[in-house]
A and B are shown apart, each in its own frame.
Chain A
Amino acid sequence: MTAKPLISMNRVFKNYETPSGSFAALRGIDLEVQEGEYVAVVGRSGSGKSTLINVLTGIDSPSSGEIHVASTAVHNLGEEELAKWRGKNVGVIFQFFQLLPTLTVAENVMLPMDFCNTFPPGERRPRAMALLEKMGIAEQADKLPSDLSGGQQQRAAIARALANDPPLLVADEPTGNLDSRTSEDVVRFFSSLVNEGKTVVMVTHERDMTRYFTRTVMLEDGAIVEETEAKAWS
């Protein structure tokens, strides 16, 4: 591999200060992800997966180490710069509490464009509709999130993550709450995004879907113990 990696994490540590002393949730993570990869992060509960995702997206700051995404030194950004950077460059998807309850689905999708002022106001709704169409939930556009099923909500969240057309999508157990069929739909959909040139990093427990990933990273006690390159099926 000669291309410059999209993500590169160098000796990233994360310590949490707890009443019972300092706790190391990440212990020297070195990770590079190329553009167009579909990386699954796996590991037992408490192994540090969410922490890894959080420091990668700037949601949390590392205790030490460096994180570069494209040409941005994420570890050097302040809160406000991070928010702005994230809005334009990373689509973030969580397991729960994704959509703002008082906004319709379409409005939720338009929200990142509004905050980051990325598309002209007149284009925002059509764009949101197009993304929802792509996710197959265009009919739900004017409903409130509470009227949607879990799977539909997750799709809406993915549509929102794509709102500003970021090159990188990061998801923390996006399928954790879904039944296995819906989960597979979601995983497969990310794969189609990768085919369109996006890069996806995703925490998952779906062991039986490894065939969709280009790579699996396994964490244990805050360290990477195993990286498996997927069979070159694609």
Chain B
Amino acid sequence: MELSPRWRKLAGDLRNARGRLSMMVLAMAVGMFGIAAILSAYTILTREIGRNYLGTNPASALIEVDQVTDELVDAVRHRPGIANAESGTSLWARVEVKPDEWMPLLLFVVKDFRAMKIGMVRPESGAYPPPEGSMLLERTGLPLVNGKFGDGIRVQTPNGPKRKIVISGLVHDPGLAPSWQEQTAYGYITLSTLALLGESGTLDTLKVTVSDPSPNVVAIERTVAGLAGWLRQQGYSVGEIRIPPPGKHPHETQMRAVLAMLILFSLMALVLSAVLTASTIGGMLAQQVRQIGIMKAIGARSSQIAGIYLALVVLMGGVAVVLGLPPGIAAGRGLARAIAELLNLTLYSEAVPGWVYLVQLIAGLLVPFLIALGPILRATRITVREAINDYGTSIRTFRSSRLDALLGKIRGMDRTLLLSIRNTFRRRGRLMLTLGLLSAAGAMFMTALNVRAAWERNLADAASDRRYDLEIRLNGPHPEEKVLAIVSSVPGVQKVESWDIDPAAANRHDGLEIARTYPDRGHGSFTLRSAPPGSRMIQLTMLGGRWLPPGDSDAVVLNHMALRIFPGVKVGDTIHISVQGRQTAFHVVGIAREIVTPAAAYTSPEGFHRALGRSGQTNAVRVVMKGHDEKTIGAVTREIERALERERISVKIDFSETRLDNALSGHIYILIFALILMSAIMAVVGVLGLASAMGTTVVERTREFGVMRAIGGRTGTVMRNVIGEGVFIGLMSWGIAIVLSLPLSAGVGRLVGTLAFYFPLPLVLSPAAMIIWLTVIFLGSTAASAYPASRASRLTVRETLAYT
């Protein structure tokens, strides 16, 4: 069937303005792409993170008891509110990754791999359960231990010798952050293998799940406290209780927050591209006033005319959806895969739920429709007389006289440039829109790089707060003087101090120690540390109060992470800390910022003695070396370990600065990447917007150019005029972007810093970001205006003056 004339008109308009319209479609497609990518990544990840984590049936609580027998497990299963119970234990060991180079290894001891019901792991490859004398490795650890599946690898437990054991299989434990991120390997062994490694094989951890299907922390705490009370009545001594946030993967909050932020940004890009489209349609309408008038004169109603233009908008939106959605979903899957890898998740399905497609389809069609509706209705309501009479066109007058006057006063200014600048301000609405888009893109780009710089500054600050090269933790306390003497006698060691440490918990009325720690023992831990008086090994920024006064056994300084364990505590308050079952009151004298260190309370050796009843002994030392490069540190570390070993002092773990850096950098790059991706999307939309605005300007100013040419202006003059305007807008947006990036960087830095360090990132401006963006914007705006400019300058004078 033949198209009716009014749709033929639509087709004709499409053909006529195909350059500008396809740019708009592209802009919207890019917007659709962004939102489709982020939204599908969000839906895939939030579903799969739950599937992964809840699929392990994570423990509601882990309770340390002297010994967990099968009878006890059975009895606990019948306690009120308890769904299931299981025994287990975990211990810190270390694994040799290169000759004489060791990495922390957290060993999970499993009583019966086949009967595992709580905190399960999923076999990936190799043997399951592990044969005696072998170990299963969490899959993300394999590249770190430089091991191959089936290889023997040396492992050392606190009380045992170094022993070679075989990696007999790989498992996936979705409840753990990847090994490369934490710089810790995770192993799974049976009790008999534990005995082989030289440890007395007792299971001291009771893993329980509660029967409440959707419990909160408070409910779990109540149930578990009840259970602990009962255990005590039975004569067990109850140690630390760990209750991780229920049902929540250790990194879920971070992931959701970051994705939510990205959704917000991509939504912004979509709306801006739709606004851009609406304004292009608006420009088209302005050019077609007479046509609208004619149509009305021969009997068209406003609604019929509006219908034509709205159909155009919907058509463009539809094409944008078709172009943007499939690659967007594909990119979303890619993003989900990248983030899954970061979080050690397995994507069992990459299906994007139907509602996502539906929402996008509606958004792609409806958002531009709604935004264009106003301008279209306004334009089509114009009366025939307004449209046809010449009076109609003169209504629109330019009002920028004050600026004009100001510009006129600047002497020696190039006339063409003056004309460009003046022209820029003629169309405020369009200018605002283009500026808004470009500035938003620039602000986002600079924010991405600023946040990265802030992250690095933060880590550098953290590193400079810690003025030592190595921390060694020993298995159990040893005579302090002896340890210090051994270490300081090692060549290359400049200074060594004792920094005794012990896991602690905030005190409860019932005397239970309840921590918020995940089974990996890192996320959420809290320790009490003895700080040598007058030590210069840490120099923290005080957020309140002051550092420890020498000799005061009552005083503690909390780091900012510890505030999460003692919410609302202020300098001057008294807190109760429980260590090894003993409770001690301390007076808070200061609160310090301490980046990348878990919650800790610092006290004097006297205070530590008061809390633990231990003095003259230590289980941790910090060392300053004569050289600070990675190689020297590595070599001296090995020497120290050998020296300690000769004296039968076994090393639990060592932390060097370089390893900490590696552990942390992995967290941020995906976020930076996503931000840059979003800013690229915005930049494309913005440059397209600029190109379209310049195109419209050229059409509108065709006569003016004709006159310019007629009075002797040359092609170059016209070109320069248009490109000058485009570049001027671009440069303006750059300035605005810098200003906008300040609050945005601060906000994103706060979000990221709080998520990663529980402390906002500092506001750091990256000069490189500004320069890169300046280059991008300069090239982009030149390109965006060169095409319309060259078209304008190719028109002959006769053509320009005949243009209607």
Partner of B295, one of A59, A107, A111: A111
Partner of B385, one of A54, A102, A125, A163: A54
- Contact A87:B300 (CB < 8 A) given known A97-B804, A100-B291, A102-B15: yes
Residues of chain B within 8 A (CB-CB) of A121 are 1-2, 4
Q: Are B15 and A115 in contact (CB under 8 A)?
A: no
- Contact A80:B5 (CB < 8 A) given known A59-B385, A100-B295, A102-B15: no
Task: Render A76-102 as a binary contact track against B, CB cut-off 8 A, 1 for contact.
Answer: 000110011011100010100111111
Partner of A86, one of B4, B8, B299, B302: B299
- Contact A84:B299 (CB < 8 A) given known A59-B383, A60-B385: yes
Q: Please measure, in the bound complex, the distance between the C-alpha atom of A64 and the C-alpha atom of B412, giving whole angstroms.
A: 57
Residue from B2, B16, B293 with most neighbouring chain A CB atoms (10 Å): B2
Partner of B298, one of A97, A102, A160: A160
Q: Are A59 and B384 in contact (CB under 8 A)?
A: yes
Q: Are B12 and A103 in contact (CB under 8 A)?
A: yes
Q: Are A87 and B9 in contact (CB under 8 A)?
A: no
Q: Are B297 and A115 in contact (CB under 8 A)?
A: no
Interface residues of B in 287-307 (CB under 8 A from A): 290-291, 293-304
A114 at interface, CB cutoff 8 A: yes
Interface residues of B in 414-440 (CB under 8 A from A): none
Residues of chain A within 8 A (CB-CB) of B299 are 83-84, 86-88, 112, 115-116, 164
Residues of chain B within 8 A (CB-CB) of A108 are 5
CB closest residue in chain B, given A16: B391
Residues of chain B within 8 A (CB-CB) of A100 are 9, 12, 291, 294-295
Q: Are B302 and A79 in contact (CB under 8 A)?
A: yes
Residues of chain B within 8 A (CB-CB) of A224 are none
A110 at interface, CB cutoff 8 A: yes
Residues of chain B within 8 A (CB-CB) of A164 are 299
Task: Render B66-110 as a binary contact track against A, CB cut-off 8 A, 1 for contact.
Answer: 000000000000000000000000000000000000000000000
Interface residues of B in 10-31 (CB under 8 A from A): 11-13, 15-16
- Contact A103:B8 (CB < 8 A) given known A59-B383, A97-B388, A115-B300: yes
Partner of B383, one of A79, A86, A103, A110: A79
Q: Please measure, in the bound complex, the distance between the C-alpha atom of A161 and the C-alpha atom of B28, giving whole angstroms.
A: 40
- Contact A94:B297 (CB < 8 A) given known A80-B303, A102-B13: yes
Q: Are A115 and B301 in contact (CB under 8 A)?
A: yes
Residues of chain B within 8 A (CB-CB) of A86 are 297-299
Interface residues of B in 260-299 (CB under 8 A from A): 290-291, 293-299
Residues of chain B within 8 A (CB-CB) of A125 are 2
Interface residues of A in 140-195 (CB under 8 A from B): 160-161, 163-164
Interface residues of B in 205-262 (CB under 8 A from A): none
Partner of A107, one of B5, B15, B303: B5
Chain A interface mostly: helix
Residues of chain B within 8 A (CB-CB) of A110 are 4-5
Interface residues on B, range: 20 to 34
CB closest residue in chain B, given A107: B5
Residues of chain B within 8 A (CB-CB) of A57 are 297
Q: Are A115 and B298 in contact (CB under 8 A)?
A: yes
- Contact A111:B388 (CB < 8 A) given known A83-B302, A87-B300, A100-B291: no
- Contact A111:B301 (CB < 8 A) given known A59-B383, A98-B294: no
Q: Are A102 and B16 in contact (CB under 8 A)?
A: yes
Q: Please measure, in the bound complex, the distance between the C-alpha atom of A116 and the C-alpha atom of B1, giving whole angstroms.
A: 19
Q: Are A111 and B5 in contact (CB under 8 A)?
A: yes
CB closest residue in chain A, given B1: A121
B508 at interface, CB cutoff 8 A: no
B798 at interface, CB cutoff 8 A: no
- Contact A103:B9 (CB < 8 A) given known A83-B299, A87-B299: yes
Q: Are B385 and A97 in contact (CB under 8 A)?
A: no
Residue from A94, A99, A108, A114 with most neighbouring chain B CB atoms (10 Å): A114
Residues of chain B within 8 A (CB-CB) of A83 are 296, 299-302
Residue from B299, B300, B385 with most neighbouring chain A CB atoms (10 Å): B299
B659 at interface, CB cutoff 8 A: no
Residues of chain A within 8 A (CB-CB) of B13 are 102
CB closest residue in chain B, given A166: B299
B794 at interface, CB cutoff 8 A: no
Partner of A97, one of B9, B294, B301, B302: B294
Q: Please measure, in the bound complex, the distance between the C-alpha atom of A163 and the C-alpha atom of B4, giving whole angstroms.
A: 15
Residues of chain B within 8 A (CB-CB) of A59 are 297, 383-385, 388
Q: Please measure, in the bound complex, the distance between the C-alpha atom of A79 and the C-alpha atom of B296, giving whole angstroms.
A: 9
B482 at interface, CB cutoff 8 A: no
Interface residues of A in 18-39 (CB under 8 A from B): none
Q: Are A111 and B16 in contact (CB under 8 A)?
A: no
CB closest residue in chain A, given B13: A102
B628 at interface, CB cutoff 8 A: no
Q: Are A115 and B384 in contact (CB under 8 A)?
A: no
B399 at interface, CB cutoff 8 A: no
Interface residues of A in 31-59 (CB under 8 A from B): 54, 57, 59
Q: Please measure, in the bound complex, the distance between the C-alpha atom of A59 and the C-alpha atom of B382, giving whole angstroms.
A: 11
Q: Please measure, in the bound complex, the distance between the C-alpha atom of A45 and the C-alpha atom of B4, giving whole angstroms.
A: 39
Q: Are B301 and A80 in contact (CB under 8 A)?
A: yes
CB closest residue in chain A, given B381: A79
Residue from B13, B15, B295, B302 with most neighbouring chain A CB atoms (10 Å): B295
Q: Please measure, in the bound complex, the distance between the C-alpha atom of A92 and the C-alpha atom of B6, giving whole angstroms.
A: 19
Name B residues whose Cβ lies closer than 8 Å to a Cβ of A.
Answer: 1-2, 4-6, 8-9, 11-13, 15-16, 290-291, 293-304, 381, 383-385, 388, 804
Some 23 contacts from A to B, beta carbons below 8 A apart, are A60-B385, A79-B383, A83-B299, A84-B299, A87-B300, A88-B299, A92-B298, A94-B388, A97-B388, A97-B804, A100-B291, A101-B12, A110-B5, A111-B298, A112-B299, A114-B6, A115-B295, A115-B299, A115-B304, A116-B299, A125-B2, A161-B298, A164-B299
CB-based closest 9 A-B pairs: A87-B299, A102-B12, A115-B300, A59-B384, A107-B5, A60-B385, A111-B5, A112-B298, A110-B5
